[in-house]
Amino acid sequence: MKIRLSACLWLVLLLSGCSTDQTLPQLSVQASLDTLSASIGDIIEYQVTVKGISGRRIEFDEISADTAILTIHDRTESADEEQNELRRTYHLAVWDTGTIVIPPARVNYYFPGDTVRRTISTDSLTLRVNSILAQGDGQLRPIKGPVALPMIIPWRTILLLLVLVLLFLAIMIVWRRRQSDSQPSSVAVTPREPADKLALRLLEDLRKRRLWEAGEFNQYYFALSQILRQYIEGSLYLKTLEMTTAEIVAQRDLLPYTSRQISWLLDFLQRADLIKFARRQPTHDDCRNDLAAVIHFIRTTLIYWKVEIPAASDSKFESQ
């Protein structure tokens, strides 16, 4: 009884597999070239088209075309759901004359729920590569005319004139300096912009540019982290602009901030490095939230370096 039951189960599974194969469309593969004749250095298009792909998982094998004669310039894939087709397009460059045989392209496919790999191949294609010289009339080109001699430049005279001009300029500079030293002049000293105001102004300019909407995440986080590093360097006189994130982590004991502020700072710098160098893609909300977090960090860390002197105290000292 058990043997009959097992045989029935195997028969049902076999019939279901056969019915699945029969319901799927027929799979076929075809290779084509946009031209059968080319010249050295031309870029030709080689396309592999798989038809009847529905219900199957398709994988392309790489063609062995990277040689000194035939190299792969680039490759792209596109699917046409209406035509039930999948195409892979290669752009190939040829570097020798004669007849070149492009080997067959192999395509692997799998049925649904099946791990058995099946392979189907295209035919090999032949490409004729012509010499550039063969396209002309084969005659020698006319001899070029005589090359004109370069103009003789009187370098000695030019150098003497240049020395005289430099000597005259040096005399004028010395004379002007002596004149300025003899007359006292008032030098206007431009006050340095505080680190927090400079950072907030740069952050406002960065916000108006809205780089995240254009997908410029790398440029946005580079500018955002640079502004934050510049603020720390301008307020604490630490060379954070010249330090890597790992060096800042190692020097975290020099930061006067709270442990929570230091943890946020190091986490932000590490996330910014991932976006700048590892091409991590943040969301638009992440960009806006990080900008707001940097502004909040600047405003809450003023107490560690900025001392505000009340105007009343100034008048008190003046009266004394």
> 137-176: per-residue pLDDT in tens?
556 667 767 777 777 888 889 999 999 999 999 999 999 8
pLDDT-above-90 percentage for the chain: 35
Residue closest to 106 by CA, chosen among 89, 121, 87, 86: 121
pTM: 0.40
**How confident is residue 126, by pLDDT bands cut at 50, 70 and 90?**
confident
What mean pLDDT do residues 74-83 have?
Answer: 82
> pLDDT at position 316, please?
35
Bigger pLDDT: 233 vs 75: 233
Please give the CATH superfamily to which domain 23-132 belongs. Immunoglobulins (2.60.40.10)
User: Where, residue-wise, is CATH 2.60.40.10 in the chain?
Assistant: 23-132
d(CA 22, CA 311): 91
Bigger pLDDT: 82 vs 49: 49
Q: Count CB neighbours of 229 within 10 A.
A: 22
What mean pLDDT do residues 75-98 have?
Answer: 82
Q: Is the pLDDT of residue 187 over 80?
A: no
Q: Is the pLDDT of residue 22 over 80?
A: no
Q: Is the pLDDT of residue 197 over 90?
A: yes
> pLDDT at position 138, please?
55
What mean pLDDT do residues 217-246 have?
Answer: 92
Q: Is the pLDDT of residue 271 over 60?
A: yes
CB neighbour list of residue 134: distance below 8 Å, 6 or more residues apart = none
> pLDDT at position 151, please?
78
Q: Using CA atoms in the order 155, 156, 157, 159, what is the torsion angle rounded to 10 degrees?
A: 80
Highest mean pLDDT among 30-39, 103-112, 292-301: 292-301
Which residue carries 């006292």 as its tokens?
184
